[in-house]
Amino acid sequence: MNQQLDNKKCDKCNDINNPVNVDKNENTSNDQAVSSDSDCEPLPFGLKPLELNRKVTEEELERMIIELPEKLGKKDMYLIWHYTNCLLRDKFNKMKNSLWNICEKLAHEHSLSFKIKMKKWWNCCGHVTDELLIKEHEDYNCIYNYIYNESSSREQFVILIDMIKHSWTRFTVDTFIKCKISLEDSMRNVTK
């Protein structure tokens, strides 16, 4: 049964020319449709799937943070973190798409074949998705432990969210700079 599901997912893979954005909610509805409710673990802190699937803008998130009560519930803290994480992941994926555009431009400038372009892309940027997943996992563990073990005031929680935002900004910028330099050096030094 799992092999059939894996094959179906592989059939839906996008063209290798377009790097796929990592969005952990992308297949939620399909996965839930295939499995029975008894197979699914309950969501943390009494959350409902509808609450997690909601898309918010940065302005809506800021308004939600401003309107937080002084004493926070675990569910409210998790939702704020979740929405923050989704927005930061979207920014990271935009950066990854920018890197892909740079890769295509450099390949065109240096008249590189598709095969060489793809090899250079994977050598320079193939690890980016793995790094994103590691970052999200570390942040999830951090916030989950914080929420589970702490009763938090609004001020403490906002400081934690700001720290997470700053770490994502640094992570995204550092990844972009490293990969861009690596792509430029790699494409410049190709012997045809």
Q: Domain-by-domain residue ranges, the chain?
A: 2-188
Show contacts of 135-143: CB within 8 Å, 24+ apart. 135/168, 135/171, 136/24, 136/85, 136/89, 139/81, 139/85, 139/164, 139/167, 140/85, 143/77, 143/78, 143/81
Quick: pLDDT tens for 10-68: 444 444 445 555 555 544 444 444 444 445 778 888 888 888 888 999 999 999 999 99
pLDDT higher for 90 or 7? 90
What pLDDT was estimated at residue 191? 63
pLDDT higher for 130 or 8? 130
Closest C-alpha among 152, 164, 158, 160 to residue 66 = 158
Is the pLDDT confidence value at 192 over 70?
Answer: no
Q: What SS3 class is residue 71?
A: strand
Q: What beta strand segments (E) does 41-115 contain?
A: none
pLDDT higher for 145 or 190? 145
Kindly report the average pLDDT of the chain as a whole number: 82
Q: Which of 11-15, 140-144, 180-184 has the lowest mean pLDDT?
A: 11-15
What span, in angstroms and rounded, lies between the C-alpha atoms of 39 and 42?
A: 10
Q: Percentage of the chain surpassing pLDDT 90? A: 55
What pLDDT was estimated at residue 157? 92
Instruction: Compute the average pLDDT of residues 127-147.
Output: 92
Q: What SS3 class is residue 26?
A: coil
What span, in angstroms and rounded, lies between the C-alpha atoms of 84 and 164?
A: 9
Is the pLDDT confidence value at 3 over 70?
Answer: no
Quick: pLDDT tens for 79-106: 999 999 999 999 999 999 999 999 999 9
What's the predicted TM-score (pTM) here? 0.74
